[in-house]
């Protein structure tokens, strides 16, 4: 640019002017030097010499100075003082035309709002004010920026640190196998209905705070899982706190023992049922843990009997236990308290007599059975409650009162000896108020009694005839001895 300026815009004849001016100045300087030397040599006559020198200058130099000034004025005409610029090699003078050309070249087509240095500087200052500080250490080397806090909703730059923090917030400590969306999708089996599937599965889970309607399979599985479904036990078993609420079906002959009350907890309960038919007695034993059951160290659970066992502060207590032996397959039993001898004058004491009618097991609350033994058409003993003697009676009936549904005929006591003995037994039934019952009022039935030792050891059978569909057994609890018996009945 400097060379272009010198070659294109330097004022014409300026070199000539400057040469003349320099020569003039040199000439003046030389003359002044000569004057000074002359003054030094004159000494006291210097004043006179000075006056002469001034006259010479006025006469010789002043006319030439005016000439040079006129020449310079001629070249400066039309050039304002602001257009005169200094360069190391001397002054340069620009005409308005050349000045306009220089400005146009400098602008290079810049719009009017930036065609002056003032405007350009103002624009630069505005831009500098708006930009991020260049001295910020985050912008040196590899550019960085302050990390935005999670939850920031401004236009602040999200750095890699901010992105990593957001990712970690989403992952929230998940392991490397579940910290990506595709891994989560794979874990959910890419099931778009995963939420519904989970809710459906939860709906079939057992609630403990509210009522709920479970599907039948869910109910069955839940009963199994919480050990409510009956469990069969055929050997000695020790009940513990884990058995709370369970139902046990007892088979065979064995012992059921219990943990201590401290371990079971007051309120613990268990449901048990002796599932045997004619034989097989379970012992409920509290001795190993120092417990009592219904106030006794142990009790017997006979075939067909069932009860609910509850742990109380003072021991175990049973509820709903049948006092007689209630058998399956619609069999019933009345168990004697002790062995019974068929000896004249000795009574048989029954704990309770339970009877069946039309396949439904009944007790007869509020009534007291009367046992009648008859021989030769006359009562041998009448009016006994829970006991009577057996003295070769030809017919014995249980009288349950005027509203009874059935009666059981007993065999002659002498006919339970010897295999193959037969006899005809007359079964007499009292009058019934319920005339629609199978057993008609006053009807007499003939029964054939035969021993059935091959089927039930020690059991004699009495097959009721004449339209009665009942079967009565007489037994000595599996061990036949003269004069002992228990009453078993099947409808």
Looking at residue 180, its pLDDT comes to 78
Looking at residue 303, its pLDDT comes to 80
What residue spans define the domains of the chain? Answer: 2-105, 225-319, 331-490
Contacts of 239-248 spanning 24+ positions with Cβ under 8 A: 239/264, 239/270, 240/264, 241/265, 241/268, 243/270, 244/268, 244/269, 244/270, 245/269, 245/270, 246/270, 246/271, 247/271, 247/272, 247/273, 248/272, 248/273
Residue 267 has pLDDT above 50, yes or no: yes
Where is pLDDT greater, at 391 or 94? 94
**Chain position carrying tokens 């045997």:** 276
Query: What is the mean pLDDT of the segment spanning 418-424?
Result: 29
Looking at residue 478, its pLDDT comes to 32
The pTM assigned to this predicted structure is 0.33
Query: What is the mean pLDDT of the segment spanning 69-97?
Result: 56
Fold exhibited by the domain 225-319: Jelly Rolls (2.60.120)
Residue 453 has pLDDT above 60, yes or no: no
- Using pLDDT thresholds of 50, 70 and 90, give the confidence band for residue 451: very low
Rounded Cα–Cα distance for residues 365 and 323 (Å): 13
Query: What is the mean pLDDT of the segment spanning 238-263?
Result: 92
Looking at residue 141, its pLDDT comes to 66
Residue 196 has pLDDT above 80, yes or no: yes
Minimum mean pLDDT range among 61-65, 242-246, 428-432: 428-432
User: Which residues touch 141 (CB under 8 Å, ≥6 apart)?
Assistant: none
* Average pLDDT over the chain, rounded to an integer: 59
User: Which residues touch 196 (CB under 8 Å, ≥6 apart)?
Assistant: none
Query: What is the mean pLDDT of the segment spanning 140-160?
Result: 74
Rounded Cα–Cα distance for residues 84 and 451 (Å): 157
Where is pLDDT greater, at 272 or 405? 272
Burial status of residue 486 (CB atoms within 10 A of its CB: 0-12, 13-18, 19 or more): buried
Query: What is the mean pLDDT of the segment spanning 310-337?
Result: 58
Query: What is the distance, to the nearest Å, from the Cα of residue 83 to the centroid of all Cα atoms in its chain?
Result: 89
Looking at residue 175, its pLDDT comes to 74
Let me know: does 480 contact 472? Beta carbons within 8 Å.
no
- Using pLDDT thresholds of 50, 70 and 90, give the confidence band for residue 488: very low
Rounded Cα–Cα distance for residues 472 and 470 (Å): 7
On the CB side of 340, CA atoms within 13 Å amount to 26
Where is pLDDT greater, at 314 or 78? 314
Looking at residue 81, its pLDDT comes to 54
Looking at residue 179, its pLDDT comes to 72
Looking at residue 47, its pLDDT comes to 63
């Amino acid at each position: 640019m400097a060379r272009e300026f010198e070659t294109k815009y330097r004022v014409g004849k300026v070199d000539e002017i400057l040469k003349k001016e320099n020569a003039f100045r040199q000439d003046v300087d030389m003359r002044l030097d000569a004057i000074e030397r002359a003054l030094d040599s004159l000494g006291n006559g210097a004043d006179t010499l000075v006056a002469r020198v001034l006259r010479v200058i006025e006469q010789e130099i002043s006319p030439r100075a005016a000439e040079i000034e006129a020449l310079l004025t001629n070249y400066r005409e039309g050039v304002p003082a602001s257009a005169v610029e200094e360069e190391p090699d001397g002054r340069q003078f620009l005409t308005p035309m050349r000045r306009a050309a220089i400005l146009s070249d400098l602008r290079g087509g810049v719009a009017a709002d930036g065609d002056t240095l003032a405007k350009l500087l103002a624009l630069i200052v505005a831009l500098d004010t708006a930009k991020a500080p260049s001295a910020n250490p985050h912008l040196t080397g590899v550019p960085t920026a302050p990390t935005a806090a999670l939850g920031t909703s401004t236009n602040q730059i999200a750095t890699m640190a901010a992105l990593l923090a957001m990712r970690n917030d989403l992952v929230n400590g998940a392991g490397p196998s579940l910290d990506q969306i595709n891994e989560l999708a794979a874990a959910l089996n890419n099931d778009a209905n995963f939420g519904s599937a989970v809710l459906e599965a939860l709906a079939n889970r057992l609630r403990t705070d509210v009522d709920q309607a479970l599907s039948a399979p869910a109910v069955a599985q839940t009963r199994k899982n919480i050990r409510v479904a009956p469990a069969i036990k055929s050997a000695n078993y020790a009940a513990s706190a884990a058995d709370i609420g369970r139902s046990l079906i007892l088979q065979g002959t064995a012992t059921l023992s219990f943990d201590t009350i401290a371990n079971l907890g007051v309120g613990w309960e268990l449901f048990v049922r002796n599932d045997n038919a004619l034989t097989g007695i379970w012992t409920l034993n509290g001795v190993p843990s120092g417990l009592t059951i219904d106030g006794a160290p142990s009790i017997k659970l006979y075939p067909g009997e069932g009860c609910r066992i509850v742990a109380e502060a003072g021991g175990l207590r049973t509820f709903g236990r049948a006092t007689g032996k209630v058998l399956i397959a619609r069999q019933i039993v009345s168990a004697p308290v002790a062995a019974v001898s068929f000896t004249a004058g000795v009574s048989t004491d029954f704990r309770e007599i339970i009877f069946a009618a039309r396949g439904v097991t009944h007790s007869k609350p509020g009534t007291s059975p009367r046992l009648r033994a008859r021989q030769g058409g006359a009562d041998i003993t009448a009016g006994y409650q829970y006991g009577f003697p057996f003295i070769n009676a030809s017919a014995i009936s249980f009288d349950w009162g005027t509203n009874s549904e059935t009666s059981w005929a007993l065999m002659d006591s002498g006919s339970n000896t010897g295999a193959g003995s037969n006899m005809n037994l007359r079964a007499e039934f009292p009058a019934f108020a319920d005339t629609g019952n199978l057993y008609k009022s006053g009807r007499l039935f003939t029964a054939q009694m035969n021993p059935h030792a091959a089927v039930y050891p020690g059991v004699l059978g009495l097959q009721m005839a004449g339209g009665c569909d009942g079967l009565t057994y007489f037994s000595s609890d599996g061990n036949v001895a003269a004069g002992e018996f228990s009453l078993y009945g099947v409808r």
